[in-house]
Structure 1
Amino acid sequence: MDHSLNSLNNFDFLARSFARMHAEGRPVDIL
């Protein structure tokens, strides 16, 4: 349960980071 919650938090953090980079016009490389 705790592991799943941590994974969701990490995903949210990454999603926000990618969204911010995209908004700033930076190239976003998922890989």
Structure 2
Amino acid sequence: MELKSIIAIGLVVFIVAGLVFLYVRNRKKR
């Protein structure tokens, strides 16, 4: 695997994890 693809996948995973984290946090507030 190229370094670029590893970085790209890491970025996507990081963004998705952040969105899920915010979604769960907002849901628990209610």
TM range (shorter): 0.7 to 0.9
Structure number with the bigger relative contact order (C-alpha 8 A, sep ≥ 6) is 1
Aligned-pair identity in percent equals: 12
Gaps (5+ residues) in structure 2? Answer: none
Q: How many residues align?
A: 26
Larger Rg: 1 or 2? 2
- Alignment TM-score, normalising by the size of structure 2: 0.74
4+ aligned runs moved over 2 Å, structure 1 = none
For normalisation by structure 1, the TM-score amounts to 0.72
